[in-house]
A = this chain, B = another copy of it.
Amino acid sequence: MTAPSASDTQPRWMLERRRPRVIIIGGGFGGLYAARALKRTAVDVLLLDRTNHHLFQPLLYQVATATLAPTDITAPIRWLLRNQDNATVLMEEVQHIDVARHVVTTTDGMEHEYDYDYLIVATGARHAYFAHPEWETLAPGLKSIDDAVEIRRRVLTAFERAEATDDPVERAAWLTFVVVGGGPTGVELAGMLPTIARRAFRHDFRRIDPVNTRVVLFEGGPMILPSYPDELSDHARRDLANLGVDVRTGAIVSDIGPHHVRVGDEMIHAHTILWAAGNAASPLGRDLSTGLDRAGRVPVDSDLSVPPHRDVFVIGDLASITTKGKPVPGVAPAAMQMGTHAAKNIRRDLEQRERTPFVYRNKGDLATIGRYRAIADLGRVQLTGVLAWWFWLFLHIMYLAGFRNRMSVLVEWAYSYFTYERGARLITGTGVGSASREEPVPGRW
């Protein structure tokens, strides 16, 4: 028996005397921060994303409610990495990861294979309907720009239909918006709808009064925003009630149809139903681990790698990890911190130093309610109302400033926000619907 040769113990790239290759899948917060953190490391980075853009997801609900334009909250990934010479960006969708062969298979119409020395998987989560996949087309969720544009189309079209119909029952159904799920996305959507109806649409209609818009928020658990302290959750509920949102907790949706939602014995007649009640992690996790958690997330070691594959890291919403005795939440700051940390552990490998464990530093949780209120949980300090909203605005402006690198973009953005940018009220993607077979209705005018 001979001693193991160098080729058995050393990674391939060490023998081949080339720079190690790091593949990052996903250009969200986690993937982008991982790529940036590798800027001065002697590696080649390949970032793969099925879209061409990074998305500032915390403001996605504002696109869905026609307040900001899609282009306000996106930037091309390759533009964000334009000054990082060791990074290549390709718009391809990863189909499969082969951890044994160290290869990812992608498609952009053609299939491609890329081999890696290190892999960082940051493909996040989608909204999920669990036992009711048939609800997806009836009650769209909000994760991507395409989702937001679809919700915007439905919301704006609902007001158009309400204005056009002569039937008071139909009109009420078009002016009723149901949001399922009382987490941050559900609360932000529900809070924004009465606000735009009252403010942005104030003078625009002749036959309806948008003030009569009804918004119902259903949450299955006992409280909305369950991850927040009880006082803040109660405060948010009062803020929503003040905006006219009908908040129902302990309300399990049992049926959704094109024109109704059923909760217990109650049937709500509504044409617009939005889904914010659950997430499931990216299916790529199945290629990495057989021990996925209930939400499909990949359990990772303290260094963020997926045992037993020390060359594969999982970060962001796809990762399941507990630090300081608490599960790390699926929020943007956690994804950014994990991205930076995974990159740091790759660098430590190359420097032949020990990897370090990831520790999540929670700088605070924030959720907006309508246009000028928010709640903020900063650990020792809690903020509510207008003060919390100013804090929210400050943080987002700080972030966007770093992100897009130009103060003037912020001015533009702030301007859009405060004036209810009219252009954002754009219905695209489909016509007004096909003709029914019934007799034409004489129009009231």
Whether B110 and A70, one on each chain, are in contact in the complex, defined by CB atoms closer than 8 angstroms, is: no
Report the bound CA distance from A113 to B427 in whole Å.
24
Whether A44 and B92, one on each chain, are in contact in the complex, defined by CB atoms closer than 8 angstroms, is: no
Smallest Cβ-Cβ distance to A404: which chain B residue: B422
A323 to chain B, nearest CB (A): 34
Q: Residue A83 at the B interface, CB < 8 A?
A: yes
- From the candidates B53, B404, B443, name the one contacting A112 in the complex (CB within 8 A): B443
Q: Residue A205 at the B interface, CB < 8 A?
A: yes
Count of identical protomers in the assembly: 2
Interface residue ranges of A386-445 to B (CB < 8 Å): 404, 406, 408, 412, 415-416, 419, 421-429, 431-436, 438-443, 445
Whether A79 and B422, one on each chain, are in contact in the complex, defined by CB atoms closer than 8 angstroms, is: yes
- From the candidates B74, B83, B203, B206, name the one contacting A88 in the complex (CB within 8 A): B206
- From the candidates B75, B112, B156, B427, name the one contacting A422 in the complex (CB within 8 A): B75
Q: Which residues of B contact A112 (CB under 8 A)?
A: 164, 440-443
Whether B108 and A432, one on each chain, are in contact in the complex, defined by CB atoms closer than 8 angstroms, is: yes
Smallest Cβ-Cβ distance to A430: which chain B residue: B146
Q: Besides the contacts A111-B435, A112-B441, A408-B415, what 5 more A-B pairs have beta carbons closer than 8 Å?
A: A52-B427, A71-B426, A90-B164, A91-B432, A146-B428
Sample of 21 A–B contacts (CB below 8 Å): A50-B431, A69-B69, A69-B70, A69-B423, A70-B71, A71-B71, A71-B426, A74-B426, A76-B422, A78-B204, A89-B163, A91-B157, A95-B435, A107-B435, A108-B433, A110-B165, A110-B441, A115-B442, A408-B415, A412-B412, A412-B415
